[in-house]
Structure 1
Amino acid sequence: MTTIRRRGPALVTLAGTATAAAGLLLGTTLVAGPATSAEPAGDCAPAFPVDELAAGDAVTGLTVTRGTTPEPFTGEVLGVQEDGIGPDLDMVMVEVDMPEVQKAGIWQGMSGSPVYAADGRLIGAVAYGLSFGPSAVAGITPFADMDDYLAEAPARVPVGKAAAASIARATGVTRAQAAQGFRQLPMPLAVSGVRAERLATAEDRPYLPRGAKAAGLGRAADAAAEDLVAGGNMAASLSYGDVTQAGVGTVTSVCNGRVVGFGHPMAFEGETTMSLHPASVIYVQADPVGPGFKVANIGAPVGTVSEDHLTGITGFLGALPRATTISNTATYQGRTRTGTTTNTVDNAAAGTTFYQIIANHDRVVDAIMPGSETMSWTIRGTDTDGSAYELAFDDRYASDYDISGEVGYELADLVYALTRITGVTVDSVTSESVVSDDPSSYRVRGIQQKRGGRWVPLGKGERAEAKAGSTLVLRAVLAGAEGLSYEPLTMKVPASAKGMKGRISVQGGGWMYGGGNVTSVAKAEKIVDGMIRNDELEVELTLEKRRKHVERTKIVGPVDRVVNGAKRVRVVVK
């Protein structure tokens, strides 16, 4: 058996662009564990009062265009727009002078770059760019407000006629362009390990983020905790490993082990448990129709992002957030690989589960193809009372188009339900898959009963005949690619059923919904215990006479293929 081995940790991200041709992330597994390198030197810069700024004031700033070392830039204050970002939250408008800005405009990933007054005090963080396209005009979130938690994040900040005229006079931007206003520098979720086609064609699920951008694989970032300095790179991730879901921006300030950056939200989660990473920039890519974007590798996690608000994100160095380990082992034609992802935000665990399964399948199966698969999975965690729980199941799947794309939803749906129960934790999600090229399945073609030494097809006027107190012996007719096969069916008929009539139905597991309303771990255990495999059949006998009612259910199988379809025939008890 050939084993596909994972390479060393890495992640490259275009800090949130929708126009990148090659993808947003180039990433493999990041080392899980706090960095052993030294903490960064804190700047603890004091805030500059916005109401003391005036048009024409010179400013300086820091950002990274390559590697990890911040580079200086200069600029000039164009004005202050009162309540520009939100109630009691002004926007400082600055024109930035820097070669990369002249080439690419204020770029995605520059979010959080600190801007200083002449006396060294911190005015705020670059967070917005003009809406019309690439421009050197930046909207600054005041640093004095970067700990305020406001209610709503604006997608676009309008600019009045007077402000538009001021911007036009001071820059090469026309009044009409300036009047289009500012928009938050984009920060869509970048996902490594999952191809763009997979993100685009996944079924609509509440746990799969909209607007996520795909990425390829690359080498590990040469970045460490000491690189998280004012003007340096920082990344926040929901998960890291095979599937890294992250955004990259810039540090605004570091003080007493706490890191503040971005100047706008990552995912606007409020209190959160994202992991905090350093990063290394490869280059800044210009875009002719929108803001440029930063391409960067992110390094191993070095702390936790605990706050994600309108004015930016805040994290601390050292301890990493509680995590869920999500893994899938896939085997196909003698190749096997185990992929693992560390998930740190509970409401992302279901999406990470789905992405991990499909990413590992694409690596091992290496094609969109018909096929079948057996999968076993186990979820382990802690219930609301602190006790440990374990849910496990195994099933068979088949697809005549894309087996890799269809097997992850059932497990991810259950993880989603569990993570929505207050006080319940999901500590690990493991799955093992064995994939085959054979996509064939069965369909229930009919039901037969043996009479007088021969099997009689039931239906079309021919009903099943049963004897009270005895066993009803039938067989299901299953149609497959090679022809017909037969599965024995037996059902005990109670003695009290004499003279009753009803029906007997046979339904393939592949046609049945096995979910339910999961409101507790106990309810989840009951649902899993009652789940029917896709390669099993459910046989149901229902009899009635006046006020008497008899119902019996039996599960038959598993057989060697997924079973679809259903048949129902009348039955009479003598």
Structure 2
Amino acid sequence: MQLAERSAPRRRRALVAASAAFVVAAASWASPAHAEPDPGGPVTTQVADPCPSPVPTAAIVPGLVGQGMTVVRGDTPQPFTVTVLGLLKDGIGAGRDMVMIEVSDLDGSTVVGDNGIWAGMSGSPVYVDGKLLGAVSYGFTASPSPIGGLTPAADMLALLGSSPARTASAPRTKVTLSTGQRKSLDTRAAAAVPRTTLQRLRTPVSVSGLTSKRLASLQGAFDGAGRSVITYAGGRTSATAVAAAAPVPGGNFAAVLTSGDLSISGVGTTTAVCGSKVLAFGHPMDFAGQVTYGANAATSLAIVKDGTFGSFKMANVGGTFGTVDQDRLAALRATLGRGPATTPITSTITNLDNRRTRTGTTQVAAPDYTAVATAYGLWANYDSTFDKWGKGLATSSWTIRGTRAAGKAFAVSRSNMWSDRSDPTIEPTIEVADAVDAIRSNELEPVKITSVAFKSAVSSAYDQYRITRIAVSVNGGRYKTSSVIKVKPKAKLRVKVTMRGYQSTVDRTVLLNLTVAKRYAKQTGTLTVQGGLDGSSSSDTDPSCLLEACDEPDGSLNSVLAGLTAAPANNAVQADLDFDENAEGEFSTDARTAAKAPVSGEQSIVIKVKKK
């Protein structure tokens, strides 16, 4: 979860008010003589060093003018003008100041235009006299605004490990701003600050493979998990894409979480390239600390105007130039070289209506995305192959493989059958995604999932059985439907289960055999027959929890794995003979068989066992 998203509404409103007041008051601050340029004057700063030293803290004063670099279209950075409005103490976090700024176009360019500061601009470097002031990373969300915030360069460069030392603060030289400068800053600050929340810029997230309905669902999952992103339908990213050239400051930067059928990539801007290390975004993506994302090139297609989330950069993701290894408050950090290792999620879907089969794969670079990538990666293949929504019948089988403590391998598998009158692909997908989440969320052993393999056959031939009646034959005698049946120990029971299908007038029957054990003597119990749909928990998972861990399963990893396969399949018909709980010993016997479609309903009969 990001800090900005967790702030209470009252505190957010207070921050906006404080930000506006700070900007207006900043005009009367004393500032060094060298920071006196006319805020509206031209900027000609050119930077050749991709890893410049930071601007001294003492020089960050109202009226300071710098040059920013970012990409609007294509992959070539363009300049824009930045004017410092003031320093917001602890504006990013405790001990983390924010540089309040106003951006504008340079020499009539259209970098900013009427879009204001847009999502995807995150990480755009700003320079003053060849030094790095910081990266554009914060803004207002409800409407376009040129007012925003920078993450200071020193905080970002600290992520390099052997970072340049912070420049010591120089004593302030008191000078008086001119009346014209004060009026200019006062007027722009009052007019430009919109009535909404200052927060880190949302990250545009390119997503391939999903229909608009699934994409909206994924946006909801990100929102529910507190991720500050704007999802849009983007192009497919390949885990084996041709290596890209090293990024340049102000150029596009993509953090690739998954690739293949379901490609999910956050798009932003490169701030600095220091040897083999790259800094980007100026804020976190998931605030996840040590991570493994792909670090990829991207080509901007357009800046899209959006009245809900604000304008954002739409881009195609290109080849890999390294691995993102840090996702921190100040920036993403990547190491140039090979991309990250990935986990394959493979699905083979057969459409029984037309016999078409498609096998698709999603490669997961970020382990925390394995469960959500399983769900949406499977839906991507289902929608492409089944090619419809509506009632249907599906079978599924899956195997999850991985390693546990001491590198010991494990595998867990399950098969099931599904029916649904609106979308038969929901439940089978959620079942395996839930299983991935449960394995990764166990608290007792370190687990690494190495592959997920899924197969399903789906058709429009919907059917579902409902149990309507049961009858019991004792020791081969006639079937009885009475509410109470008396038997002797060791009696053999044959249970005839009558079911009726969807919109059918024809009954179907299955038989189950049980034996009344000798230890049941003088006990009264219940014979219950239940369909698999009622005997197993329904999959009502909110997809957003797949990004956070839906459950924290109790017990050992062995018990977690066993629990994933213990529940009856949806097409099971199960009979349970259960006796009084206060009786000594274990008094329960069950039998199970499979039907040709999922089964619902429950029927029961009381069983009284005689002494002999």
TM beyond 0.5: yes
Quick one: distance in 2 between partners of 1:116 and 1:362? 48
Task: Please report how far the alpha carbon of residue 357 of structure 1 lies from its aligned counterpart in structure 2 after TM superposition.
Answer: 1.4
On the 8 A contact 1:85/1:91 being kept in 2, the answer is yes
Quick one: distance in 2 between partners of 1:59 and 1:42? 16
Partner of 2:289: 270
Partner of 1:141: 151
Task: Please report how far the alpha carbon of residue 546 of structure 1 lies from its aligned counterpart in structure 2 after TM superposition.
Answer: 8.2
Quick one: distance in 2 between partners of 1:392 and 1:464? 39
Quick one: distance in 2 between partners of 1:510 and 1:297? 43
Partner of 2:202: 186
Report whether the alignment pairs 1:297 with 2:320: no
**What amino acid maps onto 2:574 in structure 1?**
E
Partner of 1:361: 382
Q: 1:336 aligns with which of 330, 354, 357?
A: 357
Report whether the alignment pairs 1:471 with 2:488: no
Identity %: 33
Quick one: distance in 2 between partners of 1:260 and 1:456? 77
CA 1:290–1:430: 2 relative to 1, 3 Å: closer
Partner of 1:440: 463
Partner of 1:44: 51
* Unpaired runs of at least 5, structure 1: 1-40, 150-161
Q: 1:86 aligns with which of 58, 69, 93?
A: 93
CA 1:77–1:224: 2 relative to 1, 3 Å: farther
Task: Please report how far the alpha carbon of residue 470 of structure 1 lies from its aligned counterpart in structure 2 after TM superposition.
Answer: 3.3
Quick one: distance in 2 between partners of 1:546 and 1:77? 77
Q: Deviations over 1:434-493 (max 9, x none)?
A: 00212211111121124799864524xx42343322321121111213321111011012
Partner of 2:72: 65
Partner of 1:561: 597
CA 1:433–1:108: 2 relative to 1, 3 Å: same
Partner of 1:536: 572
Partner of 1:31: none
Quick one: distance in 2 between partners of 1:203 and 1:182? 21
Task: Please report how far the alpha carbon of residue 53 of structure 1 lies from its aligned counterpart in structure 2 after TM superposition.
Answer: 2.8
On the 8 A contact 1:418/1:424 being kept in 2, the answer is yes
CA 1:176–1:275: 2 relative to 1, 3 Å: same
CA 1:301–1:507: 2 relative to 1, 3 Å: farther
CA 1:42–1:519: 2 relative to 1, 3 Å: farther
CA 1:204–1:470: 2 relative to 1, 3 Å: farther
**Partner SS for 1:412:** helix
Quick one: distance in 2 between partners of 1:356 and 1:219? 12
CA 1:484–1:300: 2 relative to 1, 3 Å: farther
Partner of 1:7: none
**What amino acid maps onto 1:527 in structure 2?**
G
CA 1:571–1:213: 2 relative to 1, 3 Å: farther
Partner of 2:516: 493
Task: Please report how far the alpha carbon of residue 370 of structure 1 lies from its aligned counterpart in structure 2 after TM superposition.
Answer: 0.6
* Unpaired runs of at least 5, structure 2: 1-47, 160-176, 539-550
Quick one: distance in 1 between partners of 2:518 and 2:77? 85
**What amino acid maps onto 2:93 in structure 1?**
G
Partner of 2:545: none
Q: Which deviates more, 251-260 or 406-415?
A: 406-415
Report whether the alignment pairs 1:313 with 2:341: no
Quick one: distance in 2 between partners of 1:545 and 1:219? 57
Quick one: distance in 2 between partners of 1:497 and 1:54? 87
Quick one: distance in 2 between partners of 1:228 and 1:203? 28
Report whether the alignment pairs 1:77 with 2:77: no
Q: Cα RMSD over matched residues?
A: 3.2
Partner of 1:255: 274
Quick one: distance in 1 between partners of 2:59 and 2:567? 66
Report whether the alignment pairs 1:175 with 2:190: yes
Report whether the alignment pairs 1:399 with 2:423: no
**What amino acid maps onto 1:349 in structure 2?**
T
Quick one: distance in 2 between partners of 1:183 and 1:206? 17
On the 8 A contact 1:127/1:140 being kept in 2, the answer is yes
**What amino acid maps onto 1:417 in structure 2?**
A
**What amino acid maps onto 1:522 in structure 2?**
N
CA 1:208–1:288: 2 relative to 1, 3 Å: closer
Quick one: distance in 2 between partners of 1:288 and 1:213? 12
**What amino acid maps onto 1:442 in structure 2?**
Y
On the 8 A contact 2:205/2:267 being kept in 1, the answer is no
TM-score by length of 1: 0.82
Report the structure, 1 or 2, having the larger helix content: 2
TM-score by length of 2: 0.77
Where relative contact order (Cα < 8 A, 6+ residues apart) is larger, the structure is: 1
CA 1:130–1:514: 2 relative to 1, 3 Å: closer
Q: Deviations over 1:275-330 (max 9, x none)?
A: 21111111222346764211100123332211111111111122333322112111
Report whether the alignment pairs 1:106 with 2:124: no
Quick one: distance in 2 between partners of 1:570 and 1:379? 41
Quick one: distance in 2 between partners of 1:403 and 1:527? 24
**What amino acid maps onto 1:302 in structure 2?**
F
CA 1:205–1:46: 2 relative to 1, 3 Å: closer
**What amino acid maps onto 1:536 in structure 2?**
A
**Partner SS for 1:129:** strand
Q: Size of the alignment, in residue pairs?
A: 517
Quick one: distance in 2 between partners of 1:300 and 1:113? 20
**What amino acid maps onto 1:528 in structure 2?**
L
Quick one: distance in 1 between partners of 2:307 and 2:186? 18
On the 8 A contact 1:43/1:230 being kept in 2, the answer is yes
On the 8 A contact 1:134/1:289 being kept in 2, the answer is no
Quick one: distance in 2 between partners of 1:288 and 1:206? 19
